[in-house]
Amino acid sequence: MRSRRYQAAIVIELLLILILLSGRYMDSQESAAVSDTIRIGRVNTENGTKDYIKWVDFTVTAEALDYAYEQDVKAHEAGTELDWISLLAYTSAKWGGEYGKKAMQEMKKMAETARANADEDHTPTQIIDEAGKELKYYPYYKEAYSAALSGMVGSYEAQVEEEDGTPAWYSVYGLKAYSPIAKGFEYSDYDDFGAARSYGYSRPHLGHDMMGQIGTPIVAVESGYVEALGWNQYGGWRIGIRSFDKKRYYYYAHLRQNYPYQSDLAEGSVVTAGQVIGYMGHTGYSSQENVNNIRTTHLHWGLELIFDETQKESDNEIWIDCYSLSQFLRRHRSSVQKVEGTKEWKRVLQIRDPAVERWQQEHPQSVSGNESERFPCPE
């Protein structure tokens, strides 16, 4: 009897050891297992002339965006570099783009490790990139997230209101992208990406709706140039703005009836992040122009990623979920004021974006979109 009990105890102990070892193995393999399920979606032609990302599932949470961004800014203030995109890419490569509790712990651990091991020859970003080389999908996430986020953080000059109320210019490093809804205007939203739409044909909702009041000023999320302006039977009055690196296409739809845009906005206009570009409404769902067929007043804004120009205006467009971005961008909303005698608003404090200056130098024929140079049309 004792022998049988002894044997049973040995078997139980062996099973416990196997379970512990299996758990450790699963933890080490979880990232690879999850990563193998993601949709990398690269296109490769037989002659190898094209190799570009075909699909991106942007599942980064607002919490992750906030943390990575704060690490980037803190590193810059300390005189070094910790690229928030690299940190996000590393975390996604480890956890297949899913941002649960373990993924956030992993991201914080990597940020701490990168800072602790940085020296004169290695920045935290370089340390993250080196660690990323051990992960199969790190290059994919780095490229995908760079396409989505690379225009949002950097150095620029901004006006700041002094104690006496006058604006003064300061050099700034940080978030230079803005929420699409101007400061002081209320709105509501929820994650509606992929929801069914039926007008015209059955299709998923490839953007993010932000509900508010007619006439709410809409601002440019990022600096760029106006690529599309006018009526679309699905989006109503809409604006399409392309980033200067041509990786991002921002789509603002269902704008106000009769007066959807700023008066001097035109195709080719250069706009600066935070600049008022149009006004919320509920136009659309009609082949006839200037019709309010949308029941709820809201802004539909979408973000398309473009890795190859053939993806633009095709069946292979890549639109990402903007809900977490909208939450993240709440920290940076553009203050605006009414332009008396008009239906327009303008930003209160200007910024100087180096990306705008470079573009205008390279494209001297580009149309200025500087609000300070505007002469709005009267009502």
Domain ranges of the chain: 62-149, 177-373
Confirm or reject CATH 3.40.50.970 for domain 177-373, answering yes or no: no
Inform me whether the pLDDT recorded for 348 exceeds 60: yes
Neighbouring C-beta atoms of residue 313, cutoff 10 Å: 11
The pLDDT of residue 366: 77
pLDDT for the residue numbered 194: 86
Distance CA 136, CA 26 (A): 17
Confidence at residue 326, expressed as pLDDT on a 0 to 100 scale: 98
Mean pLDDT of the chain: 87
pLDDT of 5 over the 60 cut? no
Instruction: Name beta bridge partners: 52.
Output: 43
Q: How far apart are CA 48 and CA 76, in angstroms?
A: 39
CA 87, 311, 54, 108: dihedral to nearest 10 degrees?
A: 10
Torsional sign, CA 91, 93, 98, 102? negative
Which of 361, 359, 345, 374 minimizes the C-alpha distance to 151? 359
Look at the alpha carbons of 100, 105, 109, 112 in this order and tell me if their dihedral is positive or negative. positive
Q: What is the pTM of this model?
A: 0.86
Radius of gyration over alpha carbons of the chain, in Å?
Answer: 24
Instruction: Tell me the one-letter amino acid at 345.
Output: W
- Asked whether residue 375 carries a pLDDT value surpassing 80, the answer given is no
197 DSSP β-pair partners? 203
Secondary structure class of 216 (helix, strand, coil): coil
Residue 88 reports pLDDT greater than 60? yes
Q: Tens of pLDDT along 201-255? A: 777 889 999 999 999 999 999 999 999 999 999 999 999 999 999 999 999 999 9
CB 272 within 8 A of CB 291: no
Say how far apart CA 94 and CA 98 lie, in whole Å.
9
How far is the C-alpha of 51 from the C-alpha of 26, rounded, in Å? 33
3-state secondary structure of 320: strand
> What's the burial of 308, exposed, middle or buried (CB within 10 Å: 0-12/13-18/19+)?
middle
Contacts of 352 (CB under 8 A, 6+ apart): 156, 157, 158, 169
Q: Reply yes or no on whether the pLDDT at 36 is more than 70.
A: no
> Could you tell me the pLDDT band of residue 23, with boundaries at 50, 70 and 90?
very low
Percent of the residues in the chain that have a pLDDT greater than 90, as a whole number: 77
Q: Are 302 and 44 in contact (CB under 8 A)?
A: no
For residues 86-98, give the mean pLDDT. Answer: 97
Q: Is the pLDDT of residue 291 over 90?
A: yes
**pLDDT band at residue 364 under the 50/70/90 scheme:** confident
Determine the average pLDDT of the residues in 43-58: 75
pLDDT at 27: 39
pLDDT digits (tens, 9 = 90+) for 140-181: 999 999 999 999 999 999 999 898 889 999 999 999 999 999
Residue 368 banded pLDDT, cuts 50, 70, 90: low
Distance between CA atoms of residues 254 and 298, nearest Å: 7
pLDDT score, position 46: 53
Residue 92 reports pLDDT greater than 60: yes
More confident residue, 315 or 42: 315
Res. 35: pLDDT tops 50: no
